[in-house]
């Protein structure tokens, strides 16, 4: 029983990022929803380095974000790209799985996603999509 509990606790702890796992976030100076998303990821254990930029297009291009997955901010964490309002739980899932992906994205600005919560739209469905360096895309999570 003790061995089973140890294995379970080990699996659970490996699914969560360390409290000091740093995420670098690039965002536009005019975007207020990005600040709300930053608070969401901080509340979920990420240390955030916040970089304000007037040239988000070149940051997305440099990081290989497919145009159809673009959103308002781009983050880097542990070698992965996080595009837009991706829930912290999905980021944690990506990190724990060590997926062979360049990153994940919540395309556009889904109204029910973290930082975009809007009264009357809390149950609006949206998807998180994984992408690789060749811009091949797959469903990562449904919300």
Return the pLDDT at 130.
98
Identify the CATH number of the domain defined by range 20-142: 3.40.30.10
For residue 61 the two structure tokens come to 């291009």
Would you tell me how many other CB atoms lie within 10 Å of the CB of residue 70? 17
Q: How far apart are alpha carbons 129 and 21 in whole angstroms?
A: 22
- The tens digit of pLDDT for each residue in 22-55 reads 999 999 988 888 889 999 999 999 999 999 999 9
* pTM flag (> 0.75): yes
Instruction: Single out the residue of 40, 51, 19 nearest to residue 106, CA to CA.
Output: 40
């Amino acid at each position: 029983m003790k061995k089973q509990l140890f294995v379970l606790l080990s699996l659970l702890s490996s699914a969560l990022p360390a409290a000091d796992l740093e995420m670098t976030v690039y965002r536009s100076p005019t975007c207020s929803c990005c600040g709300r998303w930053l608070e969401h990821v901080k509340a979920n254990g990420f240390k955030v380095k916040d970089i304000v930029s007037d040239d988000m297009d070149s940051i997305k291009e440099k990081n290989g974000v497919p145009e159809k997955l673009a959103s308002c901010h781009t983050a880097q964490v542990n070698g992965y790209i996080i595009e837009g309002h991706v829930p912290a739980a999905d980021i944690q899932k990506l990190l724990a799985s060590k997926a062979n992906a360049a990153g994940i994205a919540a395309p556009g600005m889904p109204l029910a996603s973290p930082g975009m919560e809007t009264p009357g739209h809390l149950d609006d469905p949206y998807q998180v999509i994984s992408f690789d360096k060749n811009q091949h895309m797959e469903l990562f999570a449904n919300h």
